[in-house]
Structure 1
Amino acid sequence: MVAFNEIPYDWLKPGVLVEVRPNYDRMGAVPYPARALLIVQSLAGGAGVAKTLYRITRPDQGRALFGAGSVGADMVEAFKKANKTSDVYAIALADAAAAVAATGTFTFAGTATSSGVAALYIGSVRIAIPIIVGTTAAQAATAAVAAINAIATLPVTAAAAAGVVTLTAKHKGEVGNGIGLAFARRDGDSVIAGLAVTVAAMAAGATNPNLQDVLDVIAAEWFTDIALPWDDATTLGLLAAELATRYQAMGKRDAQAYLGHRGTFGGLTTKGALTNSPFISAIGAKNSPAAPWVWAATLAGVATFQLANDPARQLRTLPLPDIEAPPTADRFTDTEQNLLLGGGISTFTSLADGTVTIDRIVTTYKTSPLGVPDRAWLDIMVPKTASRVRYDWSSYVALMYPRHKLADDDSPAAAERDAVVTPGRMHGSWATRCKLYERWGWIEGASDTVAQSTFARDDSDRNRLNASQQIIIIGNLMVLAAALEFQV
């Protein structure tokens, strides 16, 4: 018997009554609502209100909302360069009240005996200081300060004293330590005879904003991908706990977070050990011109777009737009990269022209809850694919069986009524969806895993159907190991 939602069962007046409704038996993939979030730090000059969500559609919105030279401006611009189409929001926190700003210096010494251009670098920005014969250290420093302070989008302000240019981060907190400083870094940059320049890296920035202030605001919001600029232990602890809760069956707000780290091999190893989360992916570099928060936002932009298109496909070889490779001497060896991957730090490849491409994006998950080494959640495709399958299956069941009754497989009602579902019928629906997931390249071995899956009514609650649903997430070609044998 057909079950109607709109036609009364006892209607007597003659006529043709037709109820129109969709049939979901052969539906394709449920549209996946990829939605990214940039958690940023803002300056007082921005028009945005702290702890308020803003929908981002243009790359210059960050500057207006969060201030010129802010972390927020950089992250919005970086994400939009990497991803022009995905739905993205931003929410900001101001500097912590007790925070300390990082400082660094360019120290000029001597007097120029030749003319040229002194090339200073703050992050990826090149500041060219014209030098003529006879220019003193104090004069060069004064010129450098004027040039630096004229660029409103830089993350620092400058002041000169006795040939020393002191740079102070516009933001207070640890983010300032991630601002790269360099002199004559690129091929073709000249070194001025008689005038030496010494660089002291940005340091001493301390105390980040409290991430919990943002987590409270977005507690009920759906975001699939989140980038943030802070990587201290306290922040990462809060982040890992939040993402674990979101991924639980009762959470239903799956999200992957992206971080950028700046440091030596040892420093990145320490950072990777701070969390053990399947839902955090961090990428690190030593002395990169790009700030860590720019790495995070760029990676988030690429991953949001690509993994929404295909959650099971690796991101290898994809470029990170406008991310400049670290100097050759500061790039990690293959052995170091292999160890970083095992320690929860994703890796990249530097091409000859300075372009940076993704090598392998892993999560920070390394050991089971009992401390046993475990690679179950190694690659980002694992949580992303599992999340996508779960979202699609949950949506399909909600559409297919919205008001159905539940009966045993041998129930007469199941044979006579179309508004009755049984464990066997649900098992059949799972088999149908798994065939689609396999065709789409999300899973493999569907015939075996469907056979291993079980559906049964709960012994204590006749309104509940319990299931064990097995899948094998498809692999990716990461390593080709071969023995090349020559015959003699």
Structure 2
Amino acid sequence: MSETISFEEIPYDWRKPGTYVEIRPSYQNLGVLGYPARVLLIGQMLATGTAAEAFPQRITRADQAPALFGAGSVCAEMAEAFRAANQTTDLYVMGLNDAAAAVAAAGSVVLAGSPTASGTLALYIGGQRIAVPVAAGATVADIATAVRAAITAKTGLPVTSGGAAGSVTLTAKQKGTVGNLIDLRLNRLAGEATPPGLTVTITAMSGGTGDPDLQDALDAIAAEWFTDIAVAWTDTANLNALVADLATRYQAMGAMDAHAYAGLRGTFGALSAAGAARNSPHLTIIGANASPTSPWAWAASLAGVAAFHLTNDPARQLRSLALPGIQPPEPALRFTMTEQDLLLRDGISTFEVSNDGTVRLDRVLTTYQKSALDVDDVAWLDIMVPKTMSRIRYDWASYVGLTFPRSKLADDGSPVAEYGAAFVTPRLMHAAWSARCTLYEREGWIESATRTVAESSFLRDADDRNRMNARQLVRVVGNLMVLAGSLQFEV
């Protein structure tokens, strides 16, 4: 029996003389397909912003986010933190308005005494430095007036200022619990000191209540592709909605894989409890105690680093990579090695701090800790596992769509499949899977490709002749996390 050749554009019974050649690509030697990384940051916006609520805005320039969401908004800060870490990945930001009944947090800076020498009052609000010159003998009322003016002039701050005499009252621009997390402190850098004779008392931000409903944002992007999502809120209700949405996206019938990032501020005990309460392979939480930088900026920065590097290589760990601009806790408030190990067991990702104060990622993992039967499980421990599996699924599905777009299905050994055109059989599909796995192994995503392909199987469904079923095994490549050695000496 001779082989038949089919055409997509040339009629099989065309009689007019001529040479007709249709052009189409061959995917026989197709490399790994490009992965369309697309990041979404979800935070709060101010009424001064021009963006529509719950609508993703594409951000390509530094001045866009403050204009769209309001200077000093959560969204603007997240966008700035992301772009400091990642200048190239396609970025979208979505803003939600303050909750209707939300209350803004407030704090204060109270000045007393009289400076006996000139100096500089270095006040930090949300990690941003406000330097106010102080003259010897200046009254506290004059100094407070200067502080209020400096705060007003710095439009990117997350607070507004008021007060009278020697008191500076601070009110969060954004209503809700996010305002409680705005850090206030003095003299963060070496060499900074309050001018002698001047006393400064800081009351931390507090009293903020009410958060937007993250479900509104999730509903708005239900049909949109985003590979990485950073969120500003970590309350139970919003995180429950987030992980449920991520699980749906990752299912076979969803195939709109996304990984989410959140930041937490708290003590070891608080972070441990928060992490232990989560169990999602699609959520990463990074935690720090009393960092000057807001938790949502930590989340956005981590999303920036992860989106860039895990798109380049989804199987390679993020250890040692810097979070640019993120300010670490003071040394006394950083977690010990034992505490970090315990936090990792509770699903909280960890970091280290270089001598120059740069925050560097230590181990980035998911919050997944137990199976559906409540058994300790490390299957989805590190972020590289869901990221690698997403990449392989995307590449394989795209490759099959390109290679077998209108193929007919036949049994192995069928003469029609051997000689006919546009046919695929389980054996041919298995061969295609073998070729892709060889490619994935060369990319460094998986190992033992020969073994895993041999253990994979492709079968034509016994009841539906238009369906092929497959069990495809891969072994995600490992990473050097721990080197344990016994260093011995002779005596």
What is the TM-score with the length of structure 1 in the denominator?
0.97
Tell me which of 142, 146, 168 is aligned to 2:145.
142
Match of 2:477 in 1: 474
Quick check: 1:107 aligned with 2:110? yes
Quick check: 1:289 aligned with 2:321? no
Quick check: 1:36 aligned with 2:39? yes
Equivalents in 2 of 1:14, 1:56: separation in Å?
A: 55
Q: Alignment RMSD, CA only?
A: 1.3
Tell me which of 420, 424, 435 is aligned to 1:421.
424
Match of 1:394 in 2: 397
Query: Which residue identity lines up with residue 203 of structure 2 in the other structure?
Result: A
Query: Which residue identity lines up with residue 268 of structure 2 in the other structure?
Result: F
Match of 1:90 in 2: 93
Match of 1:446 in 2: 449
Tell me which of 419, 423, 436 is aligned to 1:433.
436
Distance apart, 1:142 and its partner CA: 3.0
Match of 2:310 in 1: 307
Q: How many residues align?
A: 488
Partner SS state of residue 436, structure 2: helix
Equivalents in 1 of 2:312, 2:298: separation in Å?
A: 21
Match of 1:24 in 2: 27
Equivalents in 2 of 1:144, 1:267: separation in Å?
A: 34
Equivalents in 2 of 1:314, 1:32: separation in Å?
A: 18
Tell me which of 220, 223, 229 is aligned to 1:220.
223
Distance apart, 1:237 and its partner CA: 0.3
Tell me which of 341, 344, 349 is aligned to 1:346.
349
Quick check: 1:172 aligned with 2:175? yes
Show CA shifts across 1:453-474 (max 9, x none): 0100111111110000000000
Partner SS state of residue 402, structure 2: helix
Query: Which residue identity lines up with residue 270 of structure 1 in the other structure?
Result: A
Match of 2:340 in 1: 337
Distance apart, 1:25 and its partner CA: 1.4
Equivalents in 2 of 1:247, 1:95: separation in Å?
A: 30
Equivalents in 1 of 2:198, 2:463: separation in Å?
A: 84
Whether contact under 8 Å (1:233, 1:274) holds in the other structure is no
Describe how 1:19-418 pairs up with structure 2 within 5 A: 19-161=22-164, 163-418=166-421
Equivalents in 1 of 2:128, 2:54: separation in Å?
A: 30
Distance apart, 1:256 and its partner CA: 0.6
Equivalents in 1 of 2:274, 2:164: separation in Å?
A: 36
Equivalents in 1 of 2:187, 2:44: separation in Å?
A: 30
Deviates more, 1:184-193 or 1:33-42: 184-193
Equivalents in 1 of 2:132, 2:484: separation in Å?
A: 51
Equivalents in 2 of 1:34, 1:71: separation in Å?
A: 23
Query: Which residue identity lines up with residue 117 of structure 2 in the other structure?
Result: S
Identity of aligned residues (%): 59
**1 or 2, which has the higher strand percentage?**
1
Equivalents in 1 of 2:444, 2:294: separation in Å?
A: 35
Equivalents in 1 of 2:36, 2:425: separation in Å?
A: 30
**Unpaired segments ≥5 residues, structure 2:** none
Whether contact under 8 Å (1:362, 1:380) holds in the other structure is yes
Partner SS state of residue 101, structure 1: coil
Show CA shifts across 1:311-351 (max 9, x none): 11111111111112221111111111111111111111111
Distance apart, 1:218 and its partner CA: 0.5
Query: Which residue identity lines up with residue 372 of structure 1 in the other structure?
Result: V
Show CA shifts across 1:157-195 (max 9, x none): 122245332211100011112211111121100232222
Equivalents in 2 of 1:149, 1:17: separation in Å?
A: 73
Query: Which residue identity lines up with residue 245 of structure 1 in the other structure?
Result: T
Partner SS state of residue 323, structure 2: strand
Tell me which of 10, 13, 20 is aligned to 1:10.
13
What is the TM-score with the length of structure 2 in the denominator?
0.97
Partner SS state of residue 148, structure 2: helix
Equivalents in 2 of 1:191, 1:46: separation in Å?
A: 36
Partner SS state of residue 174, structure 2: strand
Distance apart, 1:85 and its partner CA: 1.1
Whether contact under 8 Å (1:61, 1:76) holds in the other structure is no
Partner SS state of residue 411, structure 2: coil
